């Protein structure tokens, strides 16, 4: 018999799931993350030759100080919150709907058809209601396509919904350069601006879309938390096998939830073309569908919390535009600043859910042969 000494090589750092953390500790981590983000951003601003405090103050005042700036911030807030609400039920079901951009465009296309060709035949309230319903149906159907394939063939919805974004953009380009091209466009082909009757009315200087998205946030919160359908999609998201064992029709739930997600995204398209852009273009979706993913994750898919996070991002985005003008900061630097803040905000969630375990010393094991 002999004793042999074997070294057990442990990694320097291990990641372990945290237990339940007190709410006040979570908020301390989140506040610290925002502080570190601002501190890192301040270094970049200093390197550009500007006073970080003055730049940050200008970002806030440039977003909220005047009526014009508040209206501009609200025009960012409305579609971003709407898009975040749209993907919330799908994400809770673990149906990764990355196609909100395409669904927004699908809704915008449907609403634009009635705005361009039916505004003379319908009274303004009727026209706006028809545009709203058409946008919801178009967005829902656009999301229904990958959902049907997912339910029937278990296809990858992430790639499917993502690819449909480019299809929607292609359709808009075709319409802009072909059948819907404005006869008055000389060099650059474009689609006509909407008649006044196809534009949303204003409330406190902003289109009434802000009321609609706030109502949608409350309704989505109730739907997810307190309805049978919300419970079903949550169960499917946690375990498909459990849902099947409980007698739920998983395929029907996937299709129903995806349609709801796409319908809300389609409504966002209607709010954009009828509430602020007053026309349809390739850039109508504005990247809101992708930014909404960040909002949804930061809010833990809670529609009420999404309101706060969306307002924060709207202020950041509008403020970034302001400092470009006032301080001559490049657009790329402004984007980096926003990206840093989002990076730290998302990164802090890792430390809330996981902890790092560092190797304390070299361990040995004695094996007796």
Full pLDDT tens readout for the chain, 369 residues: 445 444 556 677 778 787 777 778 888 888 888 888 889 888 988 988 889 999 889 888 888 888 888 999 999 999 999 999 999 999 999 999 999 999 999 999 999 999 999 999 999 999 999 999 999 999 999 999 999 999 999 999 999 999 999 999 999 999 999 999 988 877 789 999 999 999 999 998 899 999 999 999 999 999 999 999 999 999 999 999 999 999 999 999 999 999 999 999 999 999 999 999 999 999 999 899 999 998 998 888 999 999 999 998 899 888 888 888 888 888 777 788 888 888 888 888 788 888 778 777 554 444 444
Q: What local confidence, expressed as pLDDT, does residue 23 receive?
A: 77
Q: What is the pLDDT of residue 326?
A: 85
In the block, tokens 């730290």 appear at: 344
Residue 367: predicted pLDDT: 42
d(CA 17, CA 351): 10
CB 100 within 8 A of CB 266: no
CATH topology of domain 68-328: ABC transporter involved in vitamin B12 uptake, BtuC (1.10.3470)
C-beta separation of 113 from 266 below 8 A: no
DSSP assignment of 84-144 equals HHHHHHHHHTT-----HHHHHHHHHHHHHHHHHHSTTTS-HHHHHHHHHHHHHHHHHHHHH
Q: What is the pTM of this model?
A: 0.89
Location of each CATH 1.10.3470 domain in the chain:
68-328
pLDDT (0 to 100) of residue 369: 43
Mapped onto helix, strand or coil, the DSSP state of residue 173 is helix
In our burial notation (b when 16+ CB lie closer than 10 A, e otherwise), range 206-244 reads: bbebbebbbebbeebbebbeeeeebebbbbbbeebeebe
- Residue 145, pLDDT score: 97
Give pLDDT, residue 362: 53
pLDDT at 365: 46
């Amino acid at each position: 018999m002999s004793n042999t000494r074997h070294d057990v090589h442990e990694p320097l750092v291990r990641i372990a799931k945290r237990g339940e953390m007190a709410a006040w500790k979570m908020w301390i981590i989140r506040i610290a993350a925002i502080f570190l983000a601002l501190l890192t951003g301040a270094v970049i601003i200093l390197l550009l030759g500007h006073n970080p405090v003055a730049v940050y103050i200008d970002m806030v005042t440039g977003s909220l100080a005047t009526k014009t700036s508040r209206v501009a911030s609200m025009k960012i807030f409305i579609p971003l919150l709407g898009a975040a609400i749209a993907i919330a039920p799908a994400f809770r079901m673990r149906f990764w709907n990355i196609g909100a951009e395409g669904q927004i465009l699908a809704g915008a296309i449907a609403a634009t058809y009635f705005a361009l060709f039916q505004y003379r035949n319908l009274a303004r309230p009727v026209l706006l209601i028809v545009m709203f319903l058409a946008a919801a149906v178009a967005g829902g159907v656009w999301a229904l396509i990958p959902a049907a394939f997912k339910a029937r063939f278990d296809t990858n919805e992430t790639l499917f919904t993502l690819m449909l974004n480019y299809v929607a953009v292609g359709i808009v380009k075709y319409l802009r350069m072909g059948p819907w091209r404005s006869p008055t466009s000389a060099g650059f082909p474009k689609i006509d601006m909407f008649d006044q009757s196809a534009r949303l009315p204003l409330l406190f200087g902003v289109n009434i879309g802000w009321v609609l998205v706030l109502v949608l946030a409350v309704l989505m919160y109730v739907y997810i938390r307190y309805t049978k359908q919300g419970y079903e999609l949550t169960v499917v998201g946690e375990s498909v096998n459990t849902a099947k064992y409980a007698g739920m029709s998983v395929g029907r739930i996937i299709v129903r939830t995806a349609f709801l997600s796409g319908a809300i995204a389609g409504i966002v398209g209607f709010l954009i073309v009828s509430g602020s852009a007053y026309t349809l273009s390739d850039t109508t979706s504005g990247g809101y569908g992708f930014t909404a993913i960040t909002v949804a994750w930061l809010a833990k898919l809670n529609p009420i919390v999404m309101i706060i996070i969306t307002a924060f991002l709207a202020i950041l985005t509008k403020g970034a535009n302001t400092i470009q003008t006032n301080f001559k900061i490049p657009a790329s630097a402004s984007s980096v600043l926003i990206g840093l803040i989002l990076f730290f905000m998302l990164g802090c969630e890792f430390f809330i859910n996981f902890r790092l375990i560092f190797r304390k010393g070299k361990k040995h094991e004695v094996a007796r042969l």
